[in-house]
């Protein structure tokens, strides 16, 4: 049986791992390779690196650290940040990333998803979505969230974008629920359940993890394939072996401890 994935997320800026609260006020957490090796050894199932400044600054991801990470990791990893073309994606994949994730550039030019799927196969193509509930009760996507000044609220409804992204060739969806990001109050189960009902490809929950119970809830109640978290892992308040023990205790299939 396919196991549920635990995915530490490393937000990268200027060559270091940073973390903000509700996508703001970033503090430095450590060096990229150091944290990558730590999570590999603790039993992470996959890592995601977001170059959070790349899209707002209009540049692509730096492939130097991608290659250094690829050399030391023996688990899969995904890279996101300013990938706007097949050529950008090819550089990141050639540097050793297993998947690329597109967010703001795919909102500007949705056909990018199809171009990437045709070039590399849809299994390489992750669509990241930053989503926030508006006053009228609908979840809608936000663009360029890596930079507060550049963040834009779009009229596009999150659930519509999830359907469209799959039709265009997305092989996986990462749903960042911005309303719960960084505040450790639990994943946005309601939104993730709504997304799950429309998502036929793997769905990864992001935003809000504070303890092992939140992971149990999101797997059991929203049936997501993986759960992504940052601060709760970075500061050591939840260790991955302890988390997996708790999940296994609830009958949730996870990769064995190493």
Partner 1 sequence: MRCDVREPTMNVVLVDSGGANIGSVRYALQRLGVDAPLTSDGDVIRRAERVILPGVGAAAAAMARLRELDLVDLLRTLDRPLLGICLGMQLLFEASAEGDVACLGRLPGRVEKLCAAPGIRIPHMGWNRLHTCRASRLLDGIAEGAMAYFVHSYAAPVDVATVASCAHGAVFSAIAQGDGVAGAQFHPERSGRVGQRLLANFLRLA
Binding of residue 41 to partner 1 (CB under 8 A): yes
Q: Which of 35, 79, 80, 97 binds partner 1 (CB under 8 A)?
A: 97
Rg (CA), the chain: 17
Least spacing, CB of residue 24 vs partner 1, in Å: 32
Q: Are 79 and 101 in contact (CB under 8 A)?
A: yes
Catalytic annotation present for 41: no
Binding of residue 200 to partner 1 (CB under 8 A): yes
Binding of residue 228 to partner 1 (CB under 8 A): no
Buried b (16+ CB within 10 A) or exposed e, 220-248: eebebbbbbbbbbbbeeebebeebbebbe
Binding of residue 157 to partner 1 (CB under 8 A): no
CA distance 27 to 45: 25
Catalytic site residue from 45, 51, 88, 130: 130
Binding of residue 3 to partner 1 (CB under 8 A): yes
Binding of residue 124 to partner 1 (CB under 8 A): yes
Taking CB under 8 A as the criterion, which residues in 56-85 touch partner 1?
Answer: 67, 70-71, 73-76
* Residue among 209, 213, 240 at smallest CA distance from 227: 209
CA distance 124 to 117: 7
CA distance 251 to 1: 12
Least spacing, CB of residue 40 vs partner 1, in Å: 8
Length of the chain: 258
* Residue among 72, 68, 127 at smallest CA distance from 99: 127
Nearer residue to partner 1 within complex by CB, 107 or 254? 254
Binding of residue 51 to partner 1 (CB under 8 A): no
Least spacing, CB of residue 132 vs partner 1, in Å: 26
Q: Which of 172, 181, 188, 217 binds partner 1 (CB under 8 A)?
A: 172
Binding of residue 226 to partner 1 (CB under 8 A): yes
Q: Which of 16, 30, 85, 98 binds partner 1 (CB under 8 A)?
A: 98
Write out the two tokens for 228.
């992504």
Nearer residue to partner 1 within complex by CB, 116 or 177? 116
Note the residues at the interface with partner 1 (CB under 8 A).
Answer: 1-5, 41, 45, 67, 70-71, 73-76, 90, 93-98, 119-124, 171-172, 200-202, 223, 225-226, 255-256, 258
């Amino acid at each position: 049986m396919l196991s549920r994935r635990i995915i530490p997320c490393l937000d990268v800026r200027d060559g270091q791992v940073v973390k903000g609260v509700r996508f703001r006020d970033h503090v430095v957490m450590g060096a990229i390779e150091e944290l990558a090796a730590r999570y590999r050894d603790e039993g992470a199932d996959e890592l995601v690196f977001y170059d959070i400044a790349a899209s707002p600054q209009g540049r692509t991801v730096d492939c130097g650290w991608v290659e250094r990470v690829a050399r030391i990791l023996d688990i899969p990893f995904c890279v996101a940040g300013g990938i706007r073309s097949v050529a950008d994606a090819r550089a990141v994949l050639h540097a050793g990333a297993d998947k690329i994730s597109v967010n703001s550039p795919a909102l500007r030019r949705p056909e990018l998803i199809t171009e990437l799927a045709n070039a590399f196969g849809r299994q390489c193509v992750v669509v990241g979505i930053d989503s926030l509930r508006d006053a009228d009760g609908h979840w809608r996507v936000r663009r360029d969230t890596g930079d507060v000044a550049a963040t834009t609220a779009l009229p596009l409804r999150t659930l519509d974008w999830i359907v469209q992204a799959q039709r265009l060739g997305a092989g996986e969806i990462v749903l960042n629920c911005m309303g719960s990001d960084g505040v450790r109050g639990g994943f946005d189960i309601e939104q993730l359940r709504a997304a799950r009902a429309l998502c036929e490809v793997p769905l990864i929950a992001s935003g809000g993890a504070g303890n092992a119970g939140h992971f149990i809830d999101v797997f059991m109640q929203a049936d997501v394939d993986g759960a992504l978290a940052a601060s709760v892992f970075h500061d050591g308040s939840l260790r991955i072996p302890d988390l997996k023990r708790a999940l296994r205790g609830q009958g949730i299939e996870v990769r064995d401890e190493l």
